[in-house]
Each structure stands twice: as structure tokens, then as C-alpha cells.
Amino acid sequence: MAWLLVIVAGILETGFAVCLKLSHGFTRLWPTIAFASFALGSFGLLTLALKRLDVGPAYAVWTGIGAAGTAIYGMIFLGDLVSTLKIVSISFVIIGVVGLQLSGSSH
């Protein structure tokens, strides 16, 4: 259950990063409200998960999901540059996160 919380928190991290961009420096109301909601939800779920998980692998999974998710969202929906190097780099982030998770969190 704790890992599910981390995964959902990572997805919410993607949401808050995207909304941060869409808020244009907190000058647009609804993206700013969405940013705050996603951020509070993400940090709240991560906090709950850290009661049962080691901080290193859990934080790596959380940030990895957020980083990869944000980059992928940006390429698909925001017109961010798509390149082979970017896709390979996102793959390395995902591989690293999976490796850390498999490295032996005993909780």
C-alpha cells in the first residue's frame, strides 16, 4: 500500500509541475489553485508513505515518476522538443528508479 501512495504522489507531482508552468508565475488563478492542490496532495501522500518506506528509494521513485511524467507530458501536450537523447535520458531515469526500488527496501 505504501508504494501505491508513492506512485500516486509521483503522478500528482507531474500535475503540480505542469500546473506550475501553466500558472505563468502564479498570475493565472485556476492553474495556481491546481498547482497548490496537486502539491499538497503529492507531499501529503509521500509523507504517509515514508512512515513505512526507506526514504532513499521512496524519494527516488517519487521524483522519477514526477520528472519522467512531466517530460513526457510536455513532449505530448505542451510542444516540448522531442529528441532521441531526451527519450533515452527519460528511460535511464525510469531504469534507475526501478533499480533503486528493487535494491532491497525491506519494509
CA angle, 44 then 60 then 48, to 5°: 25
pLDDT value for 101? 77
pLDDT value for 78? 97
H or E element at residue 98:
helix 84-102
**pLDDT < 70 stretches in the chain:** 104-107
H or E element at residue 61:
helix 55-77
pTM of the model: 0.89
Specify whether the CB–CB gap between 9 and 46 falls below 8 A.
Answer: yes
The DSSP symbol for 106 reads: -
pLDDT tens digits, 29-55? 999 999 999 999 999 999 999 999 999
The DSSP symbol for 78 reads: S
- Return the half-sphere exposure (C-beta side, CA atoms, 13 A cut-off) of residue 59: 3
pLDDT value for 61? 93
At a CB cut-off of 8 Å and minimum separation 6, what does 42 contact? 9, 10, 12, 13, 15, 16, 62, 66
pLDDT value for 35? 98
pLDDT value for 36? 98
